[in-house]
Structure 1
């Protein structure tokens, strides 16, 4: 039985909202796209021999402009030449590959067949799995998968919370989300990373929603709007913390672990959080609900009214409840539009 007051219960649930921030916007840091250029075999050796600075190396070996009238990105194209050719000049190395001095337009280009060089001391899924140029769309898939998981989880897990209780749903989704977060950090390939990212999105949005419901159900109608706003404000606090952690840890796998491991501490909810009394009453478990309400009242230094209203009708949730009445239909459409 929890011995927390309403304020304490609200505070520990806000930790869940803050922990949701890295999942929702973590792609900003996990999917950071650093400045990059094609890896050209032989350039490093030539640069060392000629004692070029980085600026000189880029000027001599990276294509610029729009040769042949075709727009291209210098990050995705390189000169199709053999930089290991002997006798290359250190001041005009490309002259050996064209009949026109200092004219690079006649030199053919090719794709980054040998990989890329990234101008970053850290790492991200972009630099590790080369999600650039022709494969840059895969970064969008990485975030789209978690968003699709949010969509499905909001529907499925929301129903589970109504059917089996807020607290069991909360604990199961927290555990699953934490495990999936660890698996994202350990995933050996892009495909597995996206798969675990989707599963984390599927359960994490449901846990966040279940926490939101619990915060509004443990207070009276007068305070529901306030706690709802503060619960979402805790998400903003999570964003600030995420930025600081990402600054200290520039490597995406370690960052993923750093923001995921603390989530396992939320499993202490099993001992310090009660089930929602309103849900228990809706399921005709009035005795359990009254014990929780009485415990909270004592913690807050209050006394229950002599005649505490109870609902004897057990409620069975259904998706049809969202459109059953004109008022609910209006609220459902408005909220769907807002999201």
Structure 2
């Protein structure tokens, strides 16, 4: 991150670095490679839309005996309809009950004036599509296994996110990106051979461990070789790649109806990225940070040559060029600094809660797309289109309303979507239900883009990375909770769950009125600069903010 230089020599070296790292041919090629590399990330994140598909099923009657009202005995169509998508049923007077274990030696038992509730233990799934749900029986009493396996994947992303930053800082951006990309493809491929639910859930956890690390490493590889003013372009390229991946899930799921081969196909995709071993360069910023000045010089001069920039970097210049840009402090000093600065503590609490809410809402509405009426493949495709459009909508909203107000607007709108969705289920217009959910996904995705940028604008350089890490961790907790929110909504089949989500989203987003507007302001480099950013709330709150700022005049680390 760019830090203002005080002396002329440092300004000169920074100017040379910026001249080399203009968004030229080298950066364009790199961003295109990163765009292509992030496409499979959405495959693994939203693989559950394909491999957790639950087709219609029929409870298998025992030894051909029908269960249901006596007057339905000779009406096979009526009986079949009663046994469709059901987990239990009533055995009523007038029907023959044959014991499943043949304990009655196939003798018929007639019961008068008696109704026995029977639990279905065997099903026949309709259609020729196989999924993890059909093979492992994740329905009825085992329905909880479906959200559990998704949460295991999300928990893996949490663990990987924590460890990935440390690994990336120690071993470099390029090795981290390559190793965890290979990890993602390999674990996805191995998951396709899972023999049972236990191994399947364990592999989901391991797959999740690599799903976020390579994505973050890709962001670092891009942003660290681009001048600060052009870094937003890196996010655009990577977001576009992720959106393309979301759209490609639909045709993949349409043509590959076997869940095991769906996962194997994703694994085979990894072979296309083997050339990245030779095409990618290590981040020059990381090389400088660990003292590998000769290698940094080679990379920087390669960039200059590719961009046809006359500036070149000597060994001495490379060793001093960016040493002073790393103003971050350790975890414990960061905790102490934030704890004794109430304004920063308040911001971190609000932002962390917003990441939790946004992530939970994002995955709740995305992973439940299979419950909508209509063609499920088309619905998945529209989900990807919404992801793509959200990237453009973010830039329009950011320029018009700023980050803070954009988040308030879009999350409030998404709360309305959650509130009206159960009402729309009563409507016979399937297209309207789908349209509202897709629009809700559009709003939440745009909100995610906003907080990703806005969070970094609220905190000083020394604590910015750790605050971003904390916020990302909070989002993982939200994503882990999302599958169980969906499960609770389906089990209760009431409007209480979506209404509670709507109220929670509205309340947490409203807290953003206590955060400052950041448009047309520089990133705060010091704690004092961060404290001087005024809240955009009510006028009385502004006065309180001024008083707090004067009291919280702490020295910067």
TM-score (norm 1): 0.79
**SS at structure 2 position matched to 1:110:** strand
Match of 1:185 in 2: 192
How many residues are matched? Answer: 303
1:284–1:313 CA contact under 8 A, matched in 2: no
Deviation digits for residues 188-208 of structure 1 (CA, Å, limit 9, x no counterpart): 111111111110100221111
1:42–1:84 CA contact under 8 A, matched in 2: yes
1:167 positional shift? 0.9
1:58 positional shift? 4.5
Asked if 1:76 is matched to 2:81, the reply is: no
Distance 1:329 1:97, change over 3 A: farther
Deviation digits for residues 285-329 of structure 1 (CA, Å, limit 9, x no counterpart): 111111111112211222225766524579798545865766254
1:38–1:78 CA contact under 8 A, matched in 2: no
Asked if 1:40 is matched to 2:47, the reply is: no
Counterpart of 1:301 (choices 308, 319, 328) is 308
2:138–2:144 CA contact under 8 A, matched in 1: yes
Unaligned 5+ segments in structure 2 are 1-24, 67-74, 100-108, 339-459, 476-557
Counterpart of 1:196 (choices 192, 200, 203) is 203
**SS at structure 2 position matched to 1:108:** strand
Deviation digits for residues 196-225 of structure 1 (CA, Å, limit 9, x no counterpart): 111010022111111111111121101112
1:29 positional shift? 1.1
CA distance in 2, matches of 1:318, 1:330: 11
Distance 1:286 1:58, change over 3 A: farther
CA distance in 2, matches of 1:29, 1:317: 43
2:156–2:206 CA contact under 8 A, matched in 1: yes
C-alpha root-mean-square deviation of aligned residues, in Å? 3.1
Match of 2:35 in 1: 14
Match of 2:76 in 1: 57
Distance 1:171 1:317, change over 3 A: farther
Asked if 1:26 is matched to 2:47, the reply is: yes
**SS at structure 1 position matched to 2:62:** coil
Distance 1:112 1:61, change over 3 A: same
1:176 positional shift? 1.7
1:62 positional shift? 5.4
CA distance in 2, matches of 1:324, 1:221: 29
CA distance in 2, matches of 1:323, 1:14: 35
Distance 1:240 1:181, change over 3 A: same
Deviation digits for residues 205-259 of structure 1 (CA, Å, limit 9, x no counterpart): 1111111111111211011122113212210110111111111112111111112
CA distance in 2, matches of 1:252, 1:189: 14
- Runs of 4+ residues deviating >3 angstroms: 61-64, 78-85, 96-100, 305-309, 311-326, 328-335
Match of 1:108 in 2: 116
**SS at structure 1 position matched to 2:321:** coil
Counterpart of 1:336 (choices 471, 474, 483) is 471
Counterpart of 1:158 (choices 155, 165, 170) is 165
Match of 1:218 in 2: 225
Match of 1:273 in 2: 280
CA distance in 2, matches of 1:336, 1:60: 53
1:37–1:76 CA contact under 8 A, matched in 2: no
Deviation digits for residues 260-288 of structure 1 (CA, Å, limit 9, x no counterpart): 21123223221110000111011111111
Distance 1:244 1:136, change over 3 A: same
CA distance in 2, matches of 1:76, 1:227: 50
2:285–2:322 CA contact under 8 A, matched in 1: no
1:151 positional shift? 0.5
CA distance in 1, matches of 2:333, 2:310: 34
CA distance in 2, matches of 1:146, 1:140: 10
CA distance in 1, matches of 2:207, 2:166: 18
User: Which protein is richer in helix relative to its size?
Assistant: 2
Deviation digits for residues 100-154 of structure 1 (CA, Å, limit 9, x no counterpart): 8xxxxx54231112x1111232011111110001110100011000100000100
Distance 1:274 1:209, change over 3 A: same
CA distance in 1, matches of 2:336, 2:301: 34
TM-score (norm 2): 0.50
**SS at structure 1 position matched to 2:274:** helix
Unaligned 5+ segments in structure 1 are 47-55, 65-72, 86-95, 101-105
CA distance in 1, matches of 2:171, 2:62: 60
Match of 2:175 in 1: 168
Match of 2:289 in 1: 282
Match of 1:51 in 2: none
1:323–1:332 CA contact under 8 A, matched in 2: no
CA distance in 2, matches of 1:252, 1:317: 46
Asked if 1:117 is matched to 2:124, the reply is: yes
